[in-house]
Amino acid sequence: MSLQKNWCKPRLKKISDLAGFAVETASAGETVKVQVAGSLTSFDPTFHKICRSILSLTQSQNVDSLLVRIDKKGTAKIFENNFPIVAKTLAKRKIKKGGIVLDRDIADIGQISFHLDDQNVNPKNGEKVIWLFRFGYIFGIYFDFTGDLIFEDASREMARLYKRVLYYDLYDALEEGKLDSLIARGWFPFINLIGQGHDQLLALLKESKLDRLEAWSEEAFPNERIQKLSEGWFDNASFQKKKKTIEEGLANFYEGKFIAAISTLTPMVEGIANENALQKTGKGIRTSSGARIAEGIAKIAKEKVAYDSLIFPDLFQKYLTDYYFQQTKSDNSKIASRNPVSHGKAKDESFTRERTLQVILTLDQIRFYL
């Protein structure tokens, strides 16, 4: 029992007057810029210098995880490797207490804390803090030396950093604007792709092999997987109202009847969003244009999830506007997005399994906003 209570006992060290990290060189008498707070990944150019400074300051070696809390008297509590790290997550499926949680089960991460059962090493408000951690081959560092720490706010910033490390390839693609070609093909970092397929999707994008998306999507999302991810849809009242129509659309998908599946399921995106708005406010979303519908869905999303959520409400609005509800003038459209489908302009060959899957994943995405 004593071992269990002391498994995360810290080392104590005196660290007084810690102000921050110099971001430039300076001679005596010169002004110097000092970074007093920040969050970095090991891909940031200043990461390794700051990391070396931290390890030298704390006299730590061979650590994959480090938490340093410095109180107002300059006493540092240094936790190395063995301390609880708890991520407050939004789950994609039902999870029992004590059950295994995989990356693919995580829909979002909202907060990071260091509290589990009787072990609570959460930083206190007003302390100075360093948190270093590793996931795979990527490290992250969060620090705040201002002395004005509010841990509740810091825990959310730590979660943002943790997501950047955990899904670095995805955030890198977002920052470099690499997703435009995916959106043009009808794809998006759907929540049920993240942790279970987004890496292959991004690899095809990086290698300019978009012609392989159809085959990849069929392998990545067999019927069994669709059946599993759609199991919880009808727990939501807005989905429940459209249950008969949605189930018929899914049945057509499983049978390979993609024209019928797309024609049935495509209107359900705005239908479910409209139903949700009616239930909440008594007024439906504005449907005068595709952009208005996308705006209405995004408004619902932003009331539920943060701007930096892994469910990407802002980017989803762009996807809906630029692809799903795009205006099409051609009488012989090459894609099966909402307008050509609704107005009978889509070509027969545009009704594919890949396109039907995108509609299903769009519906699934909306589920996490409601």
pLDDT in tens, the chain (370 residues): 333 455 678 889 998 888 778 776 766 767 767 788 999 999 998 899 899 988 988 988 888 899 999 999 999 999 998 888 998 888 777 777 767 676 777 788 889 999 877 788 999 999 999 999 998 899 999 999 998 999 999 999 999 999 999 988 888 887 766 778 788 888 889 989 888 888 888 888 878 888 888 899 999 999 999 999 998 899 999 999 999 999 999 999 999 999 999 999 999 998 998 888 888 888 878 777 778 888 888 888 888 888 788 888 888 998 998 898 887 765 556 777 888 788 788 888 889 999 999 999 999 999 988 8
Q: pTM here?
A: 0.85
Q: Where are the domains of the chain?
A: 2-166, 177-367
Q: What is the 3-state secondary structure (H, E, C) of 104-136?
A: HHEEEEEEEECEECCEECCCCCCCEEEEEEEEC
Closest CA to 77 of 52, 58, 55: 58
What are residue 261's DSSP bridge partners? none
Chain centroid to CA 366: 14
Q: Rounded to whole angstroms, how far apart are CA atoms 72 and 56? A: 21
> Can you read off the two tokens belonging to residue 142?
């969060």
Residues 6+ apart with CB under 8 A from 79: 8, 10, 66, 67, 68, 69, 114, 121
- C-alpha distances (whole Å) from 97 to each of 94, 101, 106, 107, 368 are 10, 10, 15, 17, 21
β-strands 11-14, 75-80: how paired?
antiparallel
pLDDT of 180: 82
